[in-house]
Amino acid sequence: MSLYCGTACRRKIFWCYRLLSTYVTKTRYLCELKEDDDACKKAQQTGAFYLFHNLAPLLQKSEHQYLAPQHSLLELERLLSKFGQDSQILEDSVLIGCSEEQEAWFALDLGLNSSSSINASLQKAEIETALQGSFIKLTKALFELNVKDASLLSTAQALLRWHDAHQFCSRSGKPTKKNVSGSKRVCPSNNIIYYPQVAPVVITLVSDGTRCLLVRQSSFPKGMYSALAGFCDIGESLEETVRREIAEEVGLEVDRLHYSASQHWPFPNSTLMIACHATVKPGQTELQVNLRELEAAAWFSRDEVATVLRRNNPSNQQQSGAVPFWLPPKLAIAHQLIKEWVEKPTCSPLPA
């Protein structure tokens, strides 16, 4: 038995090391591509490209989900040649990741006019016909993508949008220049470096111990409720943002706070969603809803929320009256936060 346990332990350590080694190798390779223009150009030769048009990704429908096709550099050059364009537009591509085999992945928008490209944007319909796909807004397609494609396309859209909005230096007003990978932009006149940024947002599920608080904004789809969310203000800590948002929007004071997880979210302009659980005292649960921020807010029991989570398609059933409300799709961190509360009612608090 002792020999067996020792062998099993060594195997476990070996596989853990192998997994870590793969991750480290991949991460350092991406770091090299971000900082070394020559290395990134070389990676483009054997890399794969995801295409966009005015920030909408090229997708192909397959049964009940969308697929994001990849294209080689040679295929792109042939496409550009077909439409009378040269390959200079490839300079606008951005690095979005790589495989474990170090195949680099890039994103390129064929519809945006950039300061570095002399090419006019290509016509959407013509490209769709040539590539047998459709450019579909990510807001519509995100929840019908697999996890890998959803993450890659979210990253790609955020980077492409940031570059489109930062083509000029805020200090000199002159054009900025991106490096090959798209990890930064530099103003040649004053050497100011601009890096892509994300806005931190807290999303918090409030509970009184037996119930959770769900809210809806007027911008939500009909019948959908979610957790409270708000942007972090300058100078605030995570804990201060959670407490302020809950006080502002529903008039409650937080007793305890627990961190859950985080998620990059491409809407509206690239945010980092920081998910937390917050508890209020059972005797202090009367809501004072800020109607300038929210359309509605209400307490729901664990059984009520669990029932909605079990529905295969709650949005359709809500519209037919089968359920009183529905929740964000599984890919959204709000869904995971609510599910976590139903399945694991107790969490470890953040240190004070």
Per-residue pLDDT tens digits for 210-238: 999 999 999 898 899 999 999 999 999 99
Q: Could you say which of 152, 167, 182 is where a domain stops?
A: 167
Q: What is the pLDDT of residues 244-269, one digit of tens each?
A: 999 999 999 999 999 999 999 988 88
Q: Identify the residue whose tokens are 């396309």.
A: 153
Do residues 163 and 203 both lie within one domain?
no
Cβ atoms of 92 and 163 closer than 8 Å: yes
Q: How many CA atoms lie within 13 A of 306 on its CB side?
A: 10
For the chain, what is the mean pLDDT? Answer: 88
Is residue 203 predicted with pLDDT exceeding 70?
A: yes
In a domain, 24, yes or no: no
Is residue 291 predicted with pLDDT exceeding 60?
A: yes
Neighbours of 64 (CB within 10 A): 6
Nearest to 58 by CA among 41, 44, 82, 75: 75
Nearest to 195 by CA among 235, 159, 143: 159
Do residues 310 and 211 both lie within one domain?
yes
pLDDT score for 133: 94
Do residues 152 and 70 both lie within one domain?
yes
Do residues 71 and 123 both lie within one domain?
yes
Do residues 128 and 208 both lie within one domain?
no
pLDDT score for 311: 79
Token digits of residue 86: 């040269």
Q: What is the pLDDT of residues 13-50, one digit of tens each?
A: 444 445 556 889 999 999 999 999 999 999 999 999 99
Do residues 231 and 106 both lie within one domain?
no
In a domain, 183, yes or no: no
Is residue 4 predicted with pLDDT exceeding 50?
A: no
Do residues 289 and 331 both lie within one domain?
yes
**Full residue range of the structural domain in which residue 49 is found:** 40-167
Q: Write the CA distances from 172 to 117, 187, 233, integer angstroms.
A: 21, 8, 27
Token digits of residue 147: 């996890």
In a domain, 14, yes or no: no
Q: What is the mean pLDDT of residues 86-96?
A: 91
Confidence of residue 93 (pLDDT cuts 50, 70, 90): very high
Distance (Å, whole) CA 75 – CA 266: 28
Confidence of residue 317 (pLDDT cuts 50, 70, 90): very low
Distance (Å, whole) CA 196 – CA 158: 9
Cβ atoms of 59 and 66 closer than 8 Å: yes
Domain at 277, CATH number: 3.90.79.10
Q: What is the mean pLDDT of residues 267-289?
A: 92
Q: Which DSSP helix (H) or strand (E) runs through 213?
A: strand 211-216
Q: Could you say which of 167, 182, 212 is where a domain stops?
A: 167
In a domain, 2, yes or no: no
In a domain, 172, yes or no: no
> What residue type is assigned to position 332 of the chain?
A
Length of the chain: 352
Q: Identify the residue whose tokens are 């004070």.
A: 352
Do residues 232 and 147 both lie within one domain?
no
In a domain, 317, yes or no: yes
Do residues 254 and 151 both lie within one domain?
no
Do residues 207 and 341 both lie within one domain?
yes
Q: What's the number of domains the chain is made of?
A: 2
pLDDT score for 132: 92
In a domain, 192, yes or no: no
Alpha helices (runs of H) in 173-282, residue ranges in sequence order: 238-250
Distance (Å, whole) CA 118 – CA 274: 40
Which range, of 70-74, 280-284, 328-332, averages the lowest pLDDT?
280-284
Q: What is the pTM of this model?
A: 0.84
**Signed CA dihedral, 137, 138, 139, 143: sign only:** positive
Distance (Å, whole) CA 255 – CA 246: 11
Is residue 3 predicted with pLDDT exceeding 50?
A: no
Do residues 214 and 145 both lie within one domain?
no
**Contacts of residue 160, Cβ cutoff 8 Å, sequence gap at least 6:** 52, 55, 94, 107, 109, 112
pLDDT score for 121: 62
Do residues 203 and 245 both lie within one domain?
yes
> What residue type is assigned to position 302 of the chain?
R
SS3 160: helix
Torsion angles phi and psi, residue 282, rounded to 5: -55, -35
Q: Could you say which of 167, 189, 219 is where a domain stops?
A: 167
